[in-house]
């Protein structure tokens, strides 16, 4: 950590800072320039992070040398993490993982029909919401446990990995007993008690970026999960809120290479929630693959006009199949492949 002092910092103020750093068991190195003094501190930065050094007289700013997230960082692990999702599917390698299915599970027949269609098109993972965090309390909230039972039945019979959202720490064990991947939605990205609960499981976790969160905020949330012992975390860029109102959210394509530079964890893209319009989903999907994402999560519905949620951003199976064919060429151009 580097402590930059104000130009007018006095000798007594410098000595006070050095004494404090030394008392913490750290080693200060003072560099006095013509205009100002800089103190470099060697030792565990975590000790200094809880000390309000910027409140000390004479201090202008404090610059961390190491990132606050450790376990998710490239410093901790230089190679990309390869996460086993079960049923012969892994993410983080050469082959991209495509998760597809309805926003909300509605009934078993419809779920099977959609599941068969997306699997035939090449999807590896069946997605379906059983607990739905909705902006309005009057909107459809999901089928709950019965929806999870349907998802497990469909996943088992179709031989597909399953993913669904968990919203409450009290439900983690129950949801984990039905699905292969636990999803943390954007509204719960900083629900730290929930993150600790999924961190205590051994299930892969899909962590969606909050709608007003930075990439580093997302990585700090992932750190909570890894620090609990669960290293099977998949990050997800699903669009953030900006002043632009022509789409539901603004897909931050730059988040993909930025995250890849900072972390070893795989990252996928959710073009459906970013766009909010099914016609934009194909182009955003291709952009995500071209930018280096490790997979996609796409909403697909066989009768979107009857969908209880997000029908306007759902692809029909024929459109999804066409997109999967087109994505193969994009993936090949960046040294990746799609099933």
pLDDT digits (tens, 9 = 90+) for 254-276: 999 999 999 999 999 999 999 99
Domain spans, the chain: 2-63, 83-338
Contact in structure between 35 and 7 (CB atoms under 8 Å): yes
Quote the CA–CA distance of 330 and 36 in Å, as a whole number: 52
Low-confidence residues of the chain, pLDDT below 70?
Answer: 65, 133-135, 138, 140
Give the pTM: 0.85
User: Which one-letter DSSP state was computed for residue 86?
Assistant: E
pLDDT at res. 138:
66
Is it true that 2-63 and 83-338 share their CATH fold? no
Residues 6+ away with beta carbon under 8 Å from 6: 36, 58, 59, 60
User: What's the burial of 326, exposed, middle or buried (CB within 10 Å: 0-12/13-18/19+)?
Assistant: middle
pLDDT at res. 43:
76
Please give the CATH number for the structural domain made up of 2-63.
3.30.70.1140
Residues 6+ away with beta carbon under 8 Å from 295: 91, 96, 97, 98, 99, 234, 266, 268, 269
pLDDT at res. 134:
65
Contact in structure between 121 and 317 (CB atoms under 8 Å): yes
Q: Using CA of residue 154, residue 160, residue 165, residue 169, what is the dihedral sign?
A: positive
pLDDT at res. 135:
67
Contact in structure between 245 and 287 (CB atoms under 8 Å): no
Please give the CATH number for the structural domain made up of 83-338.
3.20.20.70
User: Which one-letter DSSP state was computed for residue 127?
Assistant: E
The number of C-alpha atoms within 13 Å of 249 and in the hemisphere containing its C-beta is 23
Contact in structure between 194 and 169 (CB atoms under 8 Å): yes
**Residue 63 forms beta bridges with which residues?**
2
């Amino acid at each position: 950590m580097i402590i930059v002092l104000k130009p007018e910092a006095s000798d007594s103020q410098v000595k006070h800072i050095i004494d404090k750093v030394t008392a913490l068991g750290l080693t200060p190195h003072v560099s006095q320039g013509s205009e100002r003094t800089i103190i470099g501190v060697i030792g565990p930065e975590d000790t200094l992070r809880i000390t309000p050094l910027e409140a000390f007289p004479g201090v202008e700013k404090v610059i961390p040398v190491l990132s606050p997230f450790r376990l998710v960082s490239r410093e901790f692990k230089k190679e990309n993490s390869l996460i086993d999702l079960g049923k012969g599917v892994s993410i983080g390698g050469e082959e991209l993982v495509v998760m597809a299915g309805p926003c909300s599970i509605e009934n078993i027949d419809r779920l099977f029909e959609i599941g068969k269609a997306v699997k035939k098109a090449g999807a590896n993972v069946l997605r379906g919401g059983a607990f739905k965090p909705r902006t309005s309390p009057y909107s459809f909230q999901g089928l709950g446990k019965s929806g999870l039972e349907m998802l497990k039945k469909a996943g088992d019979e179709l031989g597909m990995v399953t993913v669904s959202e968990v919203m409450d720490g009290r439900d983690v064990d129950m949801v984990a007993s039905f699905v292969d991947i636990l999803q943390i939605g954007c509204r719960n990205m900083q629900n730290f008690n929930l993150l600790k609960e999924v961190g205590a499981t051994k299930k892969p976790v899909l962590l969606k970026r909050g709608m007003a969160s930075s990439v580093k905020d997302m990585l700090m949330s992932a750190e909570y999960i890894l620090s609990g012992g669960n290293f099977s975390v998949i990050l997800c860029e699903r669009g953030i809120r900006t002043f632009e109102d022509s789409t539901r959210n603004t897909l931050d394509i730059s988040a993909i290479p930025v995250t890849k530079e900072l972390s070893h964890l795989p990252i996928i893209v959710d073009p459906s929630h970013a766009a909010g319009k099914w016609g934009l989903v194909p182009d955003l999907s291709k952009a995500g693959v071209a930018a280096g994402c490790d997979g996609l999560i796409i909403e697909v519905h066989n009768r979107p006009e009857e969908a209880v949620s997000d029908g306007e951003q759902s692809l029909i199976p024929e459109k999804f199949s066409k997109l999967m064919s087109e994505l193969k060429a994009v993936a090949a151009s960046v040294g990746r492949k799609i099933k």
